[in-house]
């Protein structure tokens, strides 16, 4: 979907969206992570609610991952101690959070009381804190973080009324975030608004700042004097470009490259993080390097990429290796038996490299970009490597090796969707809690 520019600046457009959310819903709930985008989202919503005497409609919540920069914790504390008149919820729950640092743990559990002696920080002392002892909605230790956020939002909407969950998502940060707004497959929106997504009958996610740039964020903070997370100042002083400054769950795959920043910005926190999760020190040293699948990946000269993948798999614990093998086998089978839609240029590139394809002559309706995307099947097996450029366009054993080095056993790096087993697990969880 092409961009269409309006005769309106992003601030005015966003305030109009926020006003509409307050008008259409009983409650407006800000999903506050402590980052620059959600921080701005909260400030804009608070300004509107205060100006229009609607603070009773406004609420905020945060998901605390236990391990974070000190300046981030201080910012969250300032927000929960400030902004009077709105409801606040501080979730400190033992969820399953993705962990890409360890080859033995695909997830870690913040606020796990079995490991309280090595927590990175103490449980926050605030009336808004929700932990596993006072959780008002049905929660089981180890529930995935995303599912917990959805369950909380649904509980909130059922208790307090129709809810707009305000998320600080910006389309220019990644293609995945852009597709959240532009995908032609999206059907479940509120009144057809493309910057909304349905969570439940009475609960919708809203992305009011989807069209902002990072420069817009900092311009607004300066212009309106908004408080913000001072971790960004420390990142800037450490030489991190503004466009690359991101805060995420510290052990998540998105934060591999930046994990080493903790050693510079928050050395006291870093010492506790090393003890908290297996593999953190290794990732702090080698995150963002060829050792973890970044930059120019290399292999031993006596190996093909397929042989190297087999070697890497043999170094993994049995359960992790089996997960990789299951998804790799599913991936190969899908390419061989069902195929994927590719445009004429990619098909020609694949065939020029000697990859044998079966042409089905069928246009893949799953592809949303303009043009004809013929479904083709690979009949010569996954190639060792390819010059196709994007690993998502044409698979290769080199891409599989990089995926293993990234500890991405789901193969998301290669564009693989969830398995049927994963989807069934997600559906079962959503069905279990849909009536809470």
pLDDT digits (tens, 9 = 90+) for 257-285: 566 676 667 667 666 666 676 555 444 44
pLDDT of residue 414: 72
Min mean pLDDT across 179-183, 297-301, 311-315 is at 179-183
**Pick the residue with more confidence: 143 or 365?**
143
Helix H or strand E encompassing 60:
strand 58-63
CATH class, 10-220 region: alpha beta
- Please report the pLDDT score of residue 28 as a whole number: 98
Reported as a single tens digit per residue, the pLDDT across 29-50 is: 999 999 999 999 999 999 999 9
Please work out, in degrees rounded to the nearest 5, the angle formed at the alpha carbon of residue 4 by the alpha carbons of 223 and 392. Answer: 100
Give the percent of the chain with pLDDT over 90: 50
Segment 183-195 shows an average pLDDT of: 75
CA angle 412, 414, 420 (to 5 degrees): 50
107 or 342, higher pLDDT: 342
| Residue 298 and residue 381 in contact, taking contact as beta carbons nearer than 8 Å | no
For 334-436, where are the alpha helices, taking DSSP H only?
A: 344-352, 397-405, 420-433
Q: Give the residue, 74 or 257, on which the prediction is more confident.
A: 74
Cα dist. 341→314, 390, 399 in Å? Answer: 33, 15, 19
DSSP string, 211-259: T--HHHHHHHHHHHT----THHHHHHHTT--GGG-----TTSGGGTTTT
User: Which residues lie below 8 Å from residue 110, measured CB to CB, with a gap of 6+?
Assistant: 64, 65, 66, 67, 92, 94, 95, 97
How far is the C-alpha of 29 from the C-alpha of 255, rounded, in Å?
Answer: 26
Backbone phi, psi, residue 25, to 5°: -130, 155
pLDDT in the model for residue 39: 96
pTM for the whole structure: 0.69
Tokens 């599989």, residue located:
400
Distances in Å between the Cα of 38 and the Cα atoms of 168, 191, 229, 388 are: 4, 24, 11, 37
Beta-carbon count within 10 A of 334 CB: 16
CB atoms within 10 A of CB 314: 8
Phi and psi of 10, rounded to 5°? -65, -30
Q: Of 80-94, 232-246, 353-367, which has the strongest mean pLDDT?
A: 80-94
DSSP designation for 334: I
- Determine the pLDDT at residue 228: 96
209-237 pLDDT per residue, tens: 999 999 999 999 999 999 999 999 988 88
Domain with CATH 3.40.50 in the chain: 10-220
Percent of the chain with pLDDT over 70: 76
Rounded CA separation 412/217 (Å)? 29
- In angstroms, the CA 138 to CA 158 distance is 13
Q: Is 80 exceeded by the pLDDT of residue 406?
A: no
Closest CA relative to residue 22, chosen from 51, 2, 63:
51
Residue 306's pLDDT is 93
pLDDT band at 287 (very low <50, low <70, confident <90, very high): very low
Burial readout 193-217 (b: 16 or more C-beta within 10 A, e: otherwise):
eebbbebbebbbbbbbbbbbebebb
Evaluate whether 205 touches 199 at the Cβ level (below 8 Å): yes
């Amino acid at each position: 979907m092409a961009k269409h520019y309006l005769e309106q600046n992003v601030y005015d457009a966003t305030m109009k969206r926020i006003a509409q959310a307050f008008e259409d819903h009983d409650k407006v709930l800000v999903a506050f992570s402590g980052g620059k985008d959600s921080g701005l989202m909260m400030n804009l919503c608070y300004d509107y609610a205060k100006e229009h005497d609607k603070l009773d409609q406004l609420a905020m919540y945060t998901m605390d991952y236990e391990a974070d920069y000190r300046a981030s914790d201080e910012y969250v504390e300032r927000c929960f101690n400030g902004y009077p008149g709105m409801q606040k919820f501080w979730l400190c729950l033992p969820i399953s959070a993705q962990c890409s640092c360890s080859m033995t743990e695909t997830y870690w559990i913040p606020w796990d009381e079995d490991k309280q002696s090595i927590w990175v920080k103490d449980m926050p002392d605030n009336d808004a804190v929700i932990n596993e002892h006072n959780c008002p909605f049905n929660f089981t230790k180890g529930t995935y973080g995303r599912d917990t956020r959805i369950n909380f939002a649904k509980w909130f909407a059922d208790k307090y009324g129709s809810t707009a969950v305000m998320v600080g998502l910006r389309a220019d940060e990644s293609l995945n975030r852009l597709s959240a707004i532009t995908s032609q497959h999206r059907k479940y929106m509120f009144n057809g608004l493309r910057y909304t997504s349905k969570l439940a009958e009475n609960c919708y996610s809203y992305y009011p700042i989807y069209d902002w740039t990072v420069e817009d964020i900092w311009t607004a903070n300066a212009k309106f004097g908004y408080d913000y997370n001072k971790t960004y100042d420390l990142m800037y002083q450490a030489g991190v470009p503004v466009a690359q400054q991101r805060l995420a769950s510290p052990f998540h795959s998105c934060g591999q490259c930046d994990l080493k920043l903790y050693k510079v910005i928050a050395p006291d926190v870093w010492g506790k993080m090393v003890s908290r999760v297996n593999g953190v020190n290794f990732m702090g040293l080698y995150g963002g390097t060829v050792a973890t699948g970044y930059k120019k990946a290399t292999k031993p000269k006596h190996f093909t990429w397929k042989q190297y993948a087999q070697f890497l798999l043999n170094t993994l614990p049995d359960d992790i290796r089996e997960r990789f093998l299951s998804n790799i086998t599913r991936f190969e089978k899908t390419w061989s038996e069902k195929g994927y839609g590719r445009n004429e240029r990619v098909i020609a590139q694949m065939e020029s490299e000697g990859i044998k394809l079966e042409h089905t002559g069928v246009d893949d309706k799953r592809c949303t970009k303009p043009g004809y995307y013929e479904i083709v099947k690979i009949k010569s097996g996954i190639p060792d490597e390819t010059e196709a450029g994007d690993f998502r366009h044409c698979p290769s054993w080199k891409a599989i090796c990089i995926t293993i080095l990234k500890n991405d056993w789901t193969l998301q790096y290669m564009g693989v969707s969830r398995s049927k087993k994963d989807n069934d697990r997600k559906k079962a969880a959503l069905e279990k809690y849909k009536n809470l």
